[in-house]
Amino acid sequence: MKRKLARVGAFLRRLADLFPWTPLGLLVGGLSTLALWHYAYGKLDLVVLVLGYGAAALVALATAFTLSATFGVKWVLRRRRRRTITSEAVTSEAVASGARELAFETARFVPTHFLMPSFRFVPLVRLRWSWESPTDFDVTSEPELGRARERVRTRARGEHRGVSRRVVIEDVFGLTRLAVRARDPEVRLEVSPHAGKLGRLPRLLAFSGGSDWPHPMGVDEGDRMELRRYAPGDPARFIHWKIFGRTRKLVVRMPERALERAERTVAYLVTGAHDEASAAAARVAIDGGALGDDWSFCTDGAGSTGRVLEARAAIVRS
């Protein structure tokens, strides 16, 4: 039922996008026509005559300017589509240069490759657009040399393929409005969790046999620093002759029992609602090498891996 209602709503919205007048425009146009017909001509009211013609002229000018800007937008989008089709032969080269890929972080506005003319030469007209798919993207624009460059932001990480935009052309009074759609099926989006102000995470430490710290239960490795009395069968080269010359007692050198630090880390990211902070912490740990040299990472819906690129992709897809 919800899907049917959503389809009906989308269909009605598309029909409304093809109709140039808004409810306010219809109201102003209808009231101006009624005033001209009933009061201006019926009762010869010159004040109403001037006001009626002024309101009707405003609606007519807004309609003309909106239609002309809409034709210009369609021409620009058609030209861009032809350019995209022409460049399909070099798609791999474009992807390699990053022209068809967009990688950014959550909660931050990032400029894209989408540019539109500002149409400042058309009076009373303004231009705005939004994304129909993928959803949950905030879209704004910034001026750039007479054009408007798109900037997007989202609060959820993930991977997306293809973008559908709804470009709205309207007048500044809200009397007329038209919308056209632009699809870019080749663009690829990769949204990573925003690291924010997370500092360096403390490294997780373990201990193994070595020579960093003395320990009575450690492994017999490291320098021969400990001493004990000589026992039959001990190699003569380990006898400490200086102590024998001073005390007339045979002692031998033994390897010191010691431990050394070993970094072995297993990290797991548990996903769920509002988990962007934990995903950002996992990304910082992987990118910054906080997990050490010997590590393994896993998350919900992905297998374990010990490679940075695979772990980063698993975080994005989670």
pLDDT at 243: 79
pLDDT digits (tens, 9 = 90+) for 80-121: 777 665 554 444 443 344 446 788 888 888 888 888 887 778
One-character DSSP codes across 201-244 = PPPP-EEEEEEEEEEEEEEEEEEEEEEEE--TT--GGGB-HHHH
pLDDT at 290: 78
Of 71-75, 130-134, 264-268, the least confident: 264-268
Q: Is the pLDDT of residue 210 over 60?
A: no
CB atoms within 10 A of CB 159: 12
pLDDT band, very low/low/confident/very high, at 200 (cuts 50, 70, 90): low
**Three-class secondary structure assignment of 91-110:** HHHHHHHCCCEEEEECCCCE
Pairing verdict, β 177-192 and 158-171: antiparallel
Q: How far apart are CA 288 and CA 284, in angstroms?
A: 6
Contacts of 83 (CB under 8 A, 6+ apart): none
- Tell me if residue 118 falls in helix, strand or coil: coil
Q: Is the pLDDT of residue 77 over 80?
A: yes
CA angle 65, 71, 74 (to 5 degrees): 140
Structure tokens at 134: 């993928």
pLDDT band, very low/low/confident/very high, at 261 (cuts 50, 70, 90): low
Share in percent of the chain as helix, strand, coil (round to 5): 35, 40, 25
pLDDT at 258: 62
Element housing 2 (H / E): helix 2-18
Q: Is the pLDDT of residue 2 over 80?
A: no
- Tell me if residue 245 falls in helix, strand or coil: helix
Of 48-62, 85-99, 204-218, 258-272, the least confident: 85-99
Residue 296, classified by CB atoms within 10 Å of its CB into exposed (0-12), middle (13-18) or buried (19+), is middle
One-character DSSP codes across 145-189 = TTEEEEEEEESS-EEEEEEEEEEEEEETTSSBEEEEEEEEEEEEE
CB atoms within 10 A of CB 2: 6
Q: How far apart are CA 44 and CA 130, in angstroms?
A: 48
Higher pLDDT, 133 or 225: 133
The residues facing 101 across adjacent strands are 188
Q: How far apart are CA 78 and CA 282, in angstroms?
A: 43
Structure tokens at 203: 């490294």
pLDDT digits (tens, 9 = 90+) for 177-198: 989 988 888 888 888 887 776 6
Torsion over CA: 218, 221, 225, 228 (sign): positive
Contact (Cβ atoms closer than 8 angstroms) between residue 154 and residue 105: no
pLDDT band, very low/low/confident/very high, at 222 (cuts 50, 70, 90): very low
Task: Quote the distance between the C-alpha of residue 84 and its chain's center.
Answer: 24
Mean pLDDT, the chain, as a whole number? 77
